[in-house]
Amino acid sequence: MRVAFLTATAPGHGYPMTALARRVKARGHDVVSIGFPSAEPLVRAAELTFFPFCEKEYPAGSNHQRYNQLSRLEGQEALEFTHRALADILQAAFDDLPRALHETSVDALVIDGVLVELGLVPMHLGMPYVHVSNALHYDFSGYTPLFAFDWPHERTPEAFARNKEGVRSFLKLLERNRLIARRYAERVGLNFDCNDPLAGISKSAWLTQTPKEFDFPSSHWLPQFHHTGPFHDGYGRSAQEFPWDRLTGEPLIYASMGTLQNGRESVFSTIAQAVGERAGMQLVLSIGPVLDPQRIEALPANAVVVDRAPQIELLKRSALCITHGGLNTTLEALAQGVPLVAIPVTNDQPGVAARIAYAKTGTFVPLKQLTVPGLTLQIDEVLRNPEYRENANRMRQTIANTNGLEKAVDLLEEALGPKATYITEA
């Protein structure tokens, strides 16, 4: 079987998707990654075949300006920016993906879960497809808080009403996406329910790399929805230069605000001040390519500041991870048994932070409430209370036992094989 993986340029989505693609390839299937030209280095590092699409709309390097702009936004403003960008991606992909699928001669397609509506393309073509949520998955039912909110999981009528109102407010951001999808459906003759935000989701399989034990409990998932576990294998990434000789051998506090929300010097300065000169520990700060490290204030004397870092290798040496709450970084930390302090900025990060608190694998501080004293208290709490480390270690063992990559590939093969069930509508 020849399977296409639609791969994003953002590392938090691209790394888990290419890891999954490599494991499918290892099972003997022919695999090709389809993506915007800027995704090619990430795919090539994973030793996968790459096929570009939407080259006119998204030429190589065109993502840098958008990422730089997004890196300085937060909250609702960043959420709106992200979904405008997703709408533009959908428009371009609806126009060019059918050609890419034809020219690559693939039998099946794996789509990132943030592009729910793009399932209409393989649906129209009669091609089996699955969705994979590399970021935190959607739940529009109201039985758990939607990913964009840091609300705790509660089962009261008041919480359900709050969650449903959150869904209604979020769906306003998707109006353009659904309009674009409806226009595509009308053009190709598909019966598309534009009132259902999950109308394009695969009927065969929808996978999330979120472990079930890390997620809020619910019995209202769609029958094809499956928790697997992280899509990490530690390979297939470009080598990152790092000054290993500057590490003292002390346990690390590793801090990163990810690749998309890392444009605020004040956040890194607050982290540096809150960590301070802690005896027996060393701070490693990964700040991204936008900021000048010289402008970060109050760095501890032995701190190491880099624009990019070999994250998994550093987490193996860490006592604490300070993170924006991106799902990929969070799961990479938990896979090493490292507790967290999250500073969620936007998108799915508030929902991930709420799950960190729910699983008692760490704590979080909303960005708008971030202060040096407040962050210092959270760091002290996680480092001094052994419960967080114990719970993170239990999650590490759960992740190891579940083996999310193998479980995901089993589900993909079942969904995309000869007996796959998919819907073609006229």
**Residue limits of CATH 3.40.50.2000 in the chain:** 2-234+402-416, 244-401
User: What residues contact residue 336 under an 8 Å CB cut-off, 6+ apart?
Assistant: 312, 315, 316, 318, 396
Does the pLDDT value for residue 420 go beyond 50? no
pLDDT at 10: 85
pLDDT at 250: 96
User: What residues contact residue 389 under an 8 Å CB cut-off, 6+ apart?
Assistant: 319, 337, 339
Average pLDDT for 4-28: 92
Does the pLDDT value for residue 421 go beyond 60? no
Average pLDDT for 403-425: 76
Does the pLDDT value for residue 263 go beyond 70? no
pLDDT band at 422 (very low <50, low <70, confident <90, very high): very low
Mean pLDDT of the chain: 92
The yes/no answer on whether domain 244-401 falls in CATH 3.40.50.300 is no
| End-to-end CA, the chain | 26
Instruction: Assign domain 2-234+402-416 to its CATH architecture.
Output: 3-Layer(aba) Sandwich (3.40)
pLDDT at 423: 38
pLDDT at 419: 40
Which of 23-37, 95-109, 234-248, 271-285 comes out lowest in average pLDDT?
A: 234-248
Rounded to whole angstroms, how far apart are CA atoms 177 and 190? Answer: 16
Q: How far is CA 85 from CA 75, 81, 90, 333, 372, in A?
A: 16, 6, 9, 29, 33
pLDDT band at 174 (very low <50, low <70, confident <90, very high): very high
Of 102, 104, 377, 78, give the one whose Cα is nearest residue 257.
78
Does the pLDDT value for residue 279 go beyond 80? yes
Average pLDDT for 30-56: 95
Of 424, 404, 8, give the one whose Cα is nearest residue 207.
404
User: What residues contact residue 360 under an 8 Å CB cut-off, 6+ apart?
Assistant: 387, 388, 391
pTM of the full structure = 0.93
Residue spans of beta strands (DSSP E) within 163-281? 206-208, 225-227, 252-256
Residue 81 has a CB neighbour count (10 Å cut-off) of: 16
pLDDT at 267: 93
pLDDT at 418: 56
CB–CB of 321/340 below 8 Å? yes
Does the pLDDT value for residue 382 go beyond 80? yes
pLDDT per residue as tens digits for the range 121-173: 999 999 999 999 999 999 999 999 999 999 999 999 999 999 999 999 999 99
Cross-strand pairs, 284: 254, 304
Average pLDDT for 372-386: 97
Rounded to whole angstroms, how far apart are CA atoms 271 and 314? Answer: 17
Q: How far is CA 399 from CA 74, 200, 209, 362, 395, in A?
A: 31, 29, 10, 17, 6
Residue 134 falls in which region: left (phi positive, over 0), alpha (psi -120 to 50) or beta: alpha
Rounded to whole angstroms, how far apart are CA atoms 230 and 224? Answer: 18
pLDDT at 127: 96
Rounded to whole angstroms, how far apart are CA atoms 252 and 12? Answer: 22
Average pLDDT for 310-335: 96
Rounded to whole angstroms, how far apart are CA atoms 408 and 207? Answer: 7
